[in-house]
Amino acid sequence: MTASQRLTLTRADARRLLVRYHFRPAPLASVIRRLGTIQFDPLAPVGTNPDLVLQARVPGYRQGDWQQAAYGQRLLVDGWDKQASLIQPAEWWAQAPFHRWFARRWQRRGVDVDAPEARALVEQVERHGPSTSLELGDQRADPALRGSWYGPKRSRHLLKALWDAGHLMTHHRVGGRHAYDLPERVLPQGADVADATDDEALQRLVVRRVQAAGLLRPAADGAVWLLPCSRAERDRIAARALARGALVELEVDGTVYWTTPEALAVLEAAPEPGPAMERGVRFLAPLDPLMWDRGGVARLFGFDYVWEVYKPQAQRRWGYYVIPVLWGERFVARFDAKCQEGTLTLLAWHWEPDILPARLPEGLAESLEPAARHFLEYLGASRLVLPRGLGREARRAWQRAAR
């Protein structure tokens, strides 16, 4: 597609597209289909990343509901997208390029997923059923592996390599630890595991990445576009998806974005009945798909978000696990929080520079109260500790929500 053929959106249109696409309330299964992939992260000061992604979109969502969806209903399975992610089992076939890519990477590190010791682990799983790394293989430590990311046990490295290569899958989790099983015993009956060409699988991975984000710059950084191929190969695959209509290219203020026909269609759809999304407050996950492309968020929303969870404490400006606050189509704040034993503690609250805590924009405090109430219900929290810096109106909104 040439520059003259691209659809052009204003920044206001782009923001509207993203908010309408992402935050139309829907049942959990519908949100899973809409996004296609949800990044997994085990940190959980106010729920895990999947929890936070889903509570912003699913009415009545409660912390941990994703686990029943994944390990009970099999609406999701553990896989790999831009990082460890939850994906739809019907798309397991598209994981094949990642599986081969990981197998080669592990082999360069001296771990062969086809070696006899690896096959022995698979056979042990086949005999014993779903098992964690504490129950499989040699439990002795290898001095050469001390200090490594996956610990000192060679069997744990082998299990991770077998999982990365698709020889084992996650049946369920035990305290966050994978319980491994064979793919044919994890995937629901009828799930598509047929072979596909590399181009077909890569196209699905590229389109799914855009589908999850809603609107994504081709020039977004490498962490956003991690794929089992080069960027030049990605561009070739994307060109094919554009030609087939699976992707749409558009321009916002001179910057090229990709979207999907389904996301673009929300701009033309009539507003849905119920409270206007334009006035609702939502608390987003640090790794929400809307937040993946931080540069894109800064361009479209004027919100400069940095996740500081891996920074030393002395270098943090905002806090450890900072939640973006979206009000309609604008980001208005961010806050650091933790929830323990039924108490939600807001450790810090930072309004955006254009928000005066003493005089909030009309409607913001009224929109904050139901969002705060939903967040407390989602966490199962009955007690609340508030920080300084909220301002009187926001403080009262949180206090009313906790009653």
Q: What is the mean pLDDT of the chain?
A: 93
Long-range contacts, stretch 347-353, CB < 8 angstroms, 24+ apart? 347/319, 347/320, 347/387, 348/318, 348/319, 348/387, 348/389, 349/386, 349/387, 349/389, 349/390, 349/394, 350/318, 350/389, 351/389, 351/391, 352/303
**CA–CA distance, 224 with 162 (Å, rounded to integer):** 25
Q: Is the pLDDT of residue 392 over 80?
A: yes
Q: What is the pLDDT of residue 147?
A: 59
Q: What are phi and psi of 77, to 5 degrees?
A: -135, 155
Spatial contact of 103 and 161, defined as CB atoms under 8 Å apart: yes
Q: CATH no. for residue 319?
A: 3.40.630
Whole-number pLDDT of residue 142: 67
Tell me, yes or no, whether 65 lies in a domain: no
pLDDT tops 60 at residue 274: no
Instruction: Identify the pLDDT of residue 269.
Output: 82
Q: Report pLDDT for 40.
A: 97
Convert the pLDDT of each residue in 326-355 to its tens digit. 999 999 999 999 999 999 999 999 999 999
Res 16 pLDDT > 90? yes
Predicted pLDDT at 189: 79
- Tokens, residue 226: 């991690």
- Using 50, 70 and 90 to split pLDDT, how confident is the model at 282? very high
Per-residue pLDDT, 196: 84
Asked whether the beta carbons of 76 and 66 are under 8 A apart, the reply is: yes
Instruction: Answer whether residue 191 shows pLDDT above 70.
Output: no
Tell whether 227 is covered by a domain: no
Q: What pLDDT score was predicted for residue 155?
A: 84
Q: What is the pTM of this model?
A: 0.94
- Confidence bin at 152 (pLDDT 50/70/90): low
- The pLDDT of residue 182 is 97
- Could you tell me if residue 210 is inside a domain? no
Residue 362 lies in a domain: yes
Determine which of 91-100, 133-142, 171-180 has the lowest per-residue pLDDT on average.
Answer: 133-142
What is the per-residue pLDDT for 351? 98
User: Has residue 182 been placed in a domain?
Assistant: yes
Instruction: Indicate whether 2 belongs to any domain.
Output: no
SS (H, E, C) the chain: CCHHHCEEECHHHHHHHHHHHHHCCCCHHHHHHHHCEEECCCCCECECHHHHHHHCCCCCCCCCHHHHHHHHCCCCEEEECCCEEEECHHHHHHHHHHHHHHHHHHHHCCCCCCCHHHHHHHHHHHHHCCECCCCCCCCCECHHHCCCCCCCEHHHHHHHHHHHCCCCEEEEEECCEEEEECHHHHCCCCCCCCCCCHHHHHHHHHHHHHHHHCEECCCCCCCCCCCCCCHHHHHHHHHHHHHHCCCEEEEECCEEEEECHHHHHCCCCCCCCCCCHHHCEEECCCCCHHHCCHHHHHHHHCCCCCCCCCCCHHHCCCCCCEEEEEECCEEEEEEEEEEECCEEEEEEEEECCCCECCECCCCHHHHHHHHHHHHHHHHCCCEEECCCCCCHHHHHHHHHHHC
Confidence at residue 272, expressed as pLDDT on a 0 to 100 scale: 63
Please report the pLDDT score of residue 329 as a whole number: 97
- Distance of alpha carbon 19 from alpha carbon 14, whole angstroms: 9
Asked if the structure places residue 280 within a domain, the reply is no
* 299 close to 255: Cβ distance less than 8 angstroms: yes
Q: Which of 165, 186, 207 is at the close of a domain?
A: 186
Q: Is the pLDDT of residue 276 over 70?
A: no
Distance between CA 17 and CA 20 in Å, rounded?
5
Q: Residue 242 in contact with residue 273, Cβ under 8 Å?
A: no
pLDDT value at 194 more than 90 = no
How far from 341 is each of 21, 36, 53, 304, CA to CA, in Å? 35, 33, 22, 32
pLDDT level of residue 32 (50, 70, 90 thresholds): very high
What's the whole-number mean pLDDT along residues 40-64? 97
Asked whether the predicted pLDDT for residue 323 surpasses 60, the reply is: yes
Cβ(56)–Cβ(285) below 8 Å? yes
More confident residue, 174 or 140: 174
**Band of the pLDDT at 279, cuts 50, 70, 90?**
confident
pLDDT of residue 128 exceeding 70: yes
Span 195-210, average pLDDT: 95
Determine, yes or no, domain membership for 67.
no
CATH number, domain containing residue 114: 1.10.10
Q: Is residue 88 very low, low, confident or very high in pLDDT (cuts 50, 70, 90)?
A: very high
Q: Which of 186, 205, 224 is the last residue of a domain?
A: 186
Per the structure, the complete domain to which residue 380 belongs is given by: 306-402
End-of-domain residue from the set 169, 186, 203? 186
Domain count, the chain: 2
pLDDT at 193: 62
Q: Which pLDDT score is estimated for 22?
A: 98
